Homo-oligomer: A and B are copies of this chain.
Amino acid sequence: MKIKRSERLVDMTRYLLERPHRLISLTYFAKRYESAKSSISEDLSIIKKTFEDRGTGIVETLPGAAGGVKYIPTITKENAREIIEEMCEIMNSKDRLLPGGYVYLSDMLGNPEILQKIGRVIAAQYVDKKVDAVMTVATKGVPIAQAVATYLNVPFVIVRRDSKITEGSTVSINYVSGSSDRVEKMELSKRSLPRGSKVLIVDDFLKGGGTINGMRSMISEFESETVGVTVFAEAGYNSKREVFDYTSLIRVNNIDLKDHSISVGLGNYFDPSTD
Q: Which residues of A contact B (CB under 8 A)?
A: 3, 5-7, 9-11, 13-14, 17-19, 46-47, 49-51, 53-54, 56, 98-100, 102-107, 110-113, 115-116, 138-140, 142-143, 146-147, 149-150, 153-158, 160, 164-168, 189, 191-192
Copies in the complex: 2
Which chain B positions have C-beta within 8 A of A5?
6
Q: Do B143 and A142 have beta carbons less than 8 Å apart?
A: yes
Contact A10 B165 (CB under 8 A): no
7 closest A-B pairs (Cβ-Cβ)?
Answer: A10-B50, A112-B150, A13-B13, A7-B50, A110-B155, A6-B46, A10-B13
Find chain B residues with CB under 8 A from A51 CB: 10, 14
**Cα A6 to Cα B5 with chains together (Å):** 8
CA distance A86 to B7 in the complex (A): 28
Shortest distance from the beta carbon of A160 to any chain B beta carbon, whole Å: 7
* Chain B residues with CB below 8 A from A106, complex form: 157-158, 166-167, 189, 192
Cα distance A111–B191 in the bound complex, in angstroms: 14
Q: Which residues of B contact A14 (CB under 8 A)?
A: 13, 17, 51, 54, 56
Cβ contacts under 8 Å, A53 to chain B: 3, 7
Do most interface residues of chain A lie in helix, strand or loop, or is the interface mixed?
A: helix
Q: With the chains together, A14 CA to B241 CA distance in Å?
A: 41
- Taking the closest CB of chain B, its distance from the CB of A204, in whole angstroms, is 9
CA separation between A164 and B14, bound complex, in Å? 39
Minimum CB–CB distance from A141 to chain B (whole Å) comes to: 11
Q: Is the CB of A112 within 8 A of B153?
A: yes
* Residue contact A105 to B166, C-beta cutoff 8 Å: yes
Q: Which residue of B lies closest to A156 (CB)?
A: B110
The answer on a CB contact under 8 Å between B107 and A155 is yes
Q: Do B142 and A139 touch across chains, with their CB atoms under 8 A apart?
A: yes
B158/A110 in contact, CB under 8 A: yes
Q: Which residue of B lies closest to A32 (CB)?
A: B54
**Residue from B6, B102, B168 within 8 A of A98 (CB atoms):** B168
Q: Is the CB of B153 within 8 A of A113?
A: yes
Q: Give A132 to B191 CA distance when docked, in angstroms.
A: 36
B6 touches A6 (CB 8 A): yes
Q: Which residue of B lies closest to A151 (CB)?
A: B112
Q: Tell me the complex Cα distance, A56–B14, Å.
A: 9
